[in-house]
Structure 1
Amino acid sequence: MTVLTAGRKQAQARQPPGAAGRDAPLALGRRRLFWPFVIPALLFLAVFYLGPLLFGLWTSFHSWDGYAAMEWNGLGSYRALVDDPYFRTSMVNTFKILVLVGLAVFVLAFALTMVLREMAGKRFVRAVIFFPHIVNAMVFGVLAGFLFNPGGLVNSALAGLGVDDPPKWLGSGNVFLLIMATMVCTSTGFYVAIIMAAVDNIPGYLYEDAELAGAGAFRRFWHITLPLSWDVVTVCAVLWTISSVKVFELVLVFGGTFTTSAPPIETWTSALYIYRNAFTGSDVPQFGTVCAAGITSLLLVAVFTALLRRLMRRDPVEY
């Protein structure tokens, strides 16, 4: 910031006399156009984001089934969440996705980035790796049924190899592991593409100098790639934190369609918990508890994101 300010002052000092006066009408016009362009976006955010958020916060302090009048409940809905084992399970699973799947995704993304950096045809390989991310998650849920159900391709292949008692892949004890493995496979390409875009801008002579100095692949990554792409890595970490809370359709199809009418409790995430308690139609909806769960998830993600950005804050590296 100091360098930019000094450069701006030097540029202003080199301007011919009267140049600042000629630029004044242009700056005034930009200021006049600021609010006409910003107000529609602010109205959109207020109507479709801030409004529902405030309504959900207000509803979380009430008991409401969506039809009768709201009844003030105070913090009763939040206390009910603390005592609800289903909610605790869903939050634990959400944090498993956030931490365990996130670590696997970023380790693989960095490994593939270092491999692809010097590979011939890296753009094509990058597109192939990125492709699973643009496919709807429900497709992978349906594909899992054909692959891992008792008569699926995986068990048929194992039977051909002499395995008489194959694992119950879609059982309640294994299905969440398959869900996490599927998320690693489908999400890694997205972050490889983003990190590779940052790595492509790193001058090649830095790697050449490090290689001539005897630095191995890991040292080149640790001292060149990671520091010079740290800002992009921070953004990727925030994006992953936000997306991990929204995991829904993969769990719904993966855990529900081929096992029971609903996914096993062991596979629920916070998003699926909210869905099951609000829109299943089997019981009376408890929108107060549902909104409390949504607000709690939002607050936890906001705190985790703030801490993550705080911990990953570093001084910019110039090269």
Structure 2
Amino acid sequence: MFWPFAAPALVVYAVLFLAPIAYSAWTSLYRWDGMGPKQWRGLKNYQILFEDPFFRSSLANTLKILFIGGTCTFAISFALTLALREMQGRLFARSVLFFPCLVNAMVFGILAGFLFSPDGPINQILHLVGITMPPKWLSTDNLFPMIVGTLVWTATGYYTAIIMAAVDQIPTYLYEAAELDGANAFQRFRHITLPMAWDVISVCAVLWTVSSVKIFELILVYGGSSTGQAPPVQTWNTALYVYEEAFPAQSTPALGMATAAALVSLVMVGLFTLILRRIMRRTAVEY
């Protein structure tokens, strides 16, 4: 009965995912604007890609989001889990933390332009407390850290809610026994919460790895302008690089380069996911 049940899903997966990936891999070997004839380039597109400083900086930004943003997100999520487990009204607090996940990322990009503009509410509050020279929040140098901070803020509640769902299934008598033995809150988290929720945490790590490569609209709105101008190159990640190569505002589309960059991103996230699953593999804890 395996194939009758699995075949429909496999067909959909092959048509919607595997076939486009194969076509993209073939397209990445050509120079093509999407309209005229294709010109064979072979692997030269990949050579040009890694020689492009814009792509290298985009790749570096993607890795910063993955590692720096991920470290901050999970550190805060673990701290919130430690605090929420014994907090009264934790269901309400969890709902408040989860709320940013319900809002489209474009809203945060538009809101940031209002809050952090030179005459915006944030700078006005700083003026009231005596800070006459507030930071240039939306300058090119500060824009990418602001984007990473927004990503951490919006993702923290999501992963906290998932981890807390696993923590709620841990028997309370384990915590009570540890507390009677003199374990403090951090020791209870380290020796009970972390091992018992490890499988869920590893899934969350994989979800973050995949989602960090696909971030697009937040950067586009955060750093773009109302005239359709692209964000500063210093804020690009690989997803935005692919978009700008495929749909440039003032030049000819380069679909061969765009698909090559997309495949590099795909291979990168696949490798990171496999390595992460291997590193975080643990023997299941039964209770």
TM value normalised by structure 1: 0.87
Q: Which amino acid aligns with 1:62?
A: Y
Separation of aligned partners in 2, 1:143 and 1:97: 21
Deviation at 1:163? 2.7
1:150-188 deviations in whole A, cap 9, x for unaligned? 111111222223333222110000011111111111000
Q: Which runs of 5+ in 2 are unaligned?
A: none
Separation of aligned partners in 2, 1:152 and 1:259: 21
Q: State which of 145, 148, 151 in structure 2 corresponds to 1:180.
A: 148
Contact 1:246 1:271 in 2 (8 A): yes
1:7-65 deviations in whole A, cap 9, x for unaligned? xxxxxxxxxxxxxxxxxxxxxxxx2xx43332221121111111110000001111111
Q: Which amino acid aligns with 1:102?
A: G
Contact 2:224 2:230 in 1 (8 A): yes
Contact 1:170 1:259 in 2 (8 A): no
SS of residue matched to 2:78: helix
Q: Which amino acid aligns with 2:200?
A: V
Partner of 1:253: 221
Q: State which of 79, 87, 90 in structure 1 corresponds to 2:55.
A: 87
Q: Which amino acid aligns with 2:202?
A: T
SS of residue matched to 1:202: coil
Separation of aligned partners in 2, 1:107 and 1:217: 16
Indicate whether 1:234 and 2:193 are aligned: no
Separation of aligned partners in 1, 2:104 and 2:231: 19
Partner of 1:160: 128
Deviation at 1:111? 0.8
Partner of 1:218: 186
Moved more, 244-253 or 65-74: 65-74
Q: State which of 81, 85, 110 in structure 2 corresponds to 1:113.
A: 81
Contact 2:82 2:186 in 1 (8 A): no
Equivalent residues in 2 for 1:38-117, closer than 5 Å: 38-117=6-85
1:211-255 deviations in whole A, cap 9, x for unaligned? 100111111111100001100010000000000000100001011
Contact 1:255 1:263 in 2 (8 A): yes
Separation of aligned partners in 2, 1:156 and 1:115: 33
Deviation at 1:301? 0.9
The count of residues paired between Structure 1 and Structure 2 equals 287
TM value normalised by structure 2: 0.97
Contact 1:170 1:258 in 2 (8 A): no
Deviation at 1:258? 6.9
Equivalent residues in 2 for 1:4-43, closer than 5 Å: 31=1, 34-43=2-11
Deviation at 1:260? 8.1
1:64-90 deviations in whole A, cap 9, x for unaligned? 110112121111110011110000000
Separation of aligned partners in 1, 2:4 and 2:64: 44
CA root-mean-square deviation: 1.3
Distance 1:155 1:47, change over 3 A: same
Q: Which runs of 5+ in 1 are unaligned?
A: 1-30
SS of residue matched to 2:54: helix
SS of residue matched to 2:13: helix
Contact 1:102 1:240 in 2 (8 A): yes
Separation of aligned partners in 1, 2:6 and 2:116: 51
Q: State which of 249, 259, 262 in structure 2 corresponds to 1:291.
A: 259
Moved more, 129-138 or 68-77: 68-77
Separation of aligned partners in 1, 2:248 and 2:99: 33
Partner of 1:263: 231
SS of residue matched to 2:224: helix
SS of residue matched to 2:141: coil
Indicate whether 1:307 and 2:275 are aligned: yes
Q: Which has the larger radius of gyration?
A: 1
SS of residue matched to 2:273: helix
SS of residue matched to 1:306: helix
Q: Which amino acid aligns with 1:45?
A: Y
1:127-163 deviations in whole A, cap 9, x for unaligned? 1110101100000000001111111111122222333
Partner of 2:212: 244
Separation of aligned partners in 1, 2:93 and 2:133: 38
